[in-house]
């Protein structure tokens, strides 16, 4: 599998500005092998994803070359359906292993590169118009979700909310931090099954948006975007407890030199980093749940012309997004997620 820059010059320049190719190549060439080696030295075999290939000679264009996992039977779960409890726990355990190794590595070898202070390393904000358009479409659809009372709240919040994808990670005192995957939604997890159809292995792909911050980022992102709506809220606290159990288990295995993060502190951090909920519900989740067609992509979503407007109206009225946002928005509001700091 080969990733290259888009052909359109304006998009090429924007993606180049994000430093995502530099970040992903560095993660696969350096950090991931380092993390896997840490587990081998602790007598545990952990593989995070596909093999990464480098060129013997320098290439002029940014490129990422990874193993194609298809021939080995790896596949995605349907993004419209989302993870059942088995796949959700497998994804959470893989994140816990990755997070644990990154936390130990930070304490033993020092900070990660500055590239990892943000998801996207933009020099200028190129998404303001896009965010405003998404907010307007979401607010317009609120009566469909029987949530019209949230309109003034979301209108006010959306005007002041930071773009979390471009924001620098906050540094709260004594907070437990890890290298987040950064784009941990269902299409970036791949699963392998045995001959009986039982889940055997879990990999993740696409490390272009990793950020060093609280694991609350990956947890909110994955749970709210990618788990079946009948589970994601009713079992939210259980998923956090399960992740914490696997996280501390692996931190102990890798001899983390500091006190282990507590479950209570993790829940507090999830509240503290609740700013992630808004971009998940206004940008990520509508794309996750939309019907599969040629226009169901970020290019169409960011298009400010007629095609983009039509697509946005469709995705916010999709029965799957209606069911999700009808549950998630009041849940988030009741947790204080739409209050200004």
pLDDT single digits (tens) 219-245: 999 999 999 999 999 999 999 999 999
Q: Each residue of 176-189: b (16+ CB within 10 Å) or e? A: bbbbbbbbbbbbbb
Max avg pLDDT among 130-134, 188-192, 288-292: 188-192
Beta strands in 85-136 (DSSP E): none
Q: What is the pLDDT of residues 83-94, one digit of tens each?
A: 999 999 999 999
Q: Is residue 341 part of a domain?
A: no
Q: Each residue of 303-319: b (16+ CB within 10 Å) or e? A: beeeebeebbebbbebe
Q: Is residue 154 part of a domain?
A: yes
Q: Is residue 339 part of a domain?
A: no
Question: What CA–CA distance (Å, rounded) separates 328 from 232?
Answer: 9
Confidence of residue 54 (pLDDT cuts 50, 70, 90): confident
| Per-residue pLDDT at 310 exceeds 80 | no
- Higher per-residue confidence, 328 vs 15: 328
- DSSP codes joined into one string, 227-258: B-HHHHTTTHHHHHHHHHHHHHHHHHHTT-SS
* Max Cα-Cα span within the chain: 59
Q: Is residue 317 part of a domain?
A: yes
- DSSP codes joined into one string, 43-80: T-----S--EE--SS--SS-EEEE---GGGT-BPPPTT
Question: What CA–CA distance (Å, rounded) separates 75 from 156?
Answer: 41
User: Picking from 58-67, 253-262, 283-292, 314-323, which range would have the lowest pLDDT averaged per residue?
Assistant: 58-67
CA atoms within 13 A on the CB side of 236: 21
Cβ pair 276, 217 in contact under 8 A: yes
Using CA atoms, how far residue 33 sits from 108, 199, 327, 339, in Å, is 16, 24, 40, 41
Phi, psi of 217 (to 5 degrees): -60, -55
| Per-residue pLDDT at 125 exceeds 80 | yes
Q: Is residue 52 part of a domain?
A: yes
| Per-residue pLDDT at 305 exceeds 70 | no
Q: Is residue 340 part of a domain?
A: no
Structural domain range at position 31: 2-334
* The pLDDT of residue 16: 79
* The pLDDT of residue 134: 92
User: Picking from 111-115, 123-127, 139-143, which range would have the lowest pLDDT averaged per residue?
Assistant: 123-127
- Higher per-residue confidence, 96 vs 60: 96
Cβ pair 176, 212 in contact under 8 A: no
The rounded mean pLDDT for the chain is 93
| Per-residue pLDDT at 296 exceeds 60 | no
Question: What CA–CA distance (Å, rounded) separates 175 from 164?
Answer: 18
* The pLDDT of residue 5: 77
The total domain count for the chain is 1
């Amino acid at each position: 599998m080969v990733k290259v820059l888009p052909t359109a010059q304006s998009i090429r320049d924007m993606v180049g500005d994000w430093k995502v190719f530099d970040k992903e190549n560095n993660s696969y060439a350096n950090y991931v092998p380092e993390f896997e080696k840490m587990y081998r030295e602790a007598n545990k075999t952990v593989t995070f994803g596909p093999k990464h290939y480098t060129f013997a000679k320098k290439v002029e264009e940014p490129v990422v070359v990874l193993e194609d996992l298809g021939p080995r039977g790896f596949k995605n779960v349907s993004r419209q359906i989302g993870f059942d409890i088995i796949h959700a726990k497998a994804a959470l355990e893989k994140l816990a292993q990755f997070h644990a190794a990154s936390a130990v590595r930070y304490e033993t070898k020092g900070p990660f590169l500055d590239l990892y202070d943000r998801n996207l390393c933009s020099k200028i904000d190129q998404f303001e118009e896009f965010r405003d358009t998404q907010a307007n479409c979401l607010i317009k659809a609120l009566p469909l979700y029987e949530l019209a009372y949230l309109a003034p709240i979301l209108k006010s919040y959306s005007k002041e909310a930071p773009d979390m994808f471009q924001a620098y990670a906050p540094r709260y005192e004594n907070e437990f931090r890890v290298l987040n995957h950064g784009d941990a939604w269902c299409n970036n997890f791949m699963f392998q099954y045995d001959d009986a159809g039982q889940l055997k292995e879990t990999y993740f792909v696409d490390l272009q948006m990793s950020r060093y911050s609280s694991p609350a980022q990956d947890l909110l992102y994955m749970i709210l975007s990618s788990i079946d709506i009948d589970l994601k809220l009713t079992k939210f606290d259980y998923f956090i407890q399960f992740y914490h159990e696997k996280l501390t288990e692996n931190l102990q295995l890798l001899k983390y030199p500091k006190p282990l993060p507590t479950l209570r502190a993790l829940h507090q951090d999830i509240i503290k980093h609740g700013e992630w909920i808004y971009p998940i519900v206004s940008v990520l989740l509508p794309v996750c749940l939309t019907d599969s067609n040629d226009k169901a992509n970020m290019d169409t979503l960011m298009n400010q012309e007629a095609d983009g407007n039509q697509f946005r109206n469709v995705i916010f009225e999709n029965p799957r997004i209606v069911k999700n946002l009808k549950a998630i928005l009041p849940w988030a509001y009741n947790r204080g997620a739409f209050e200004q700091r």
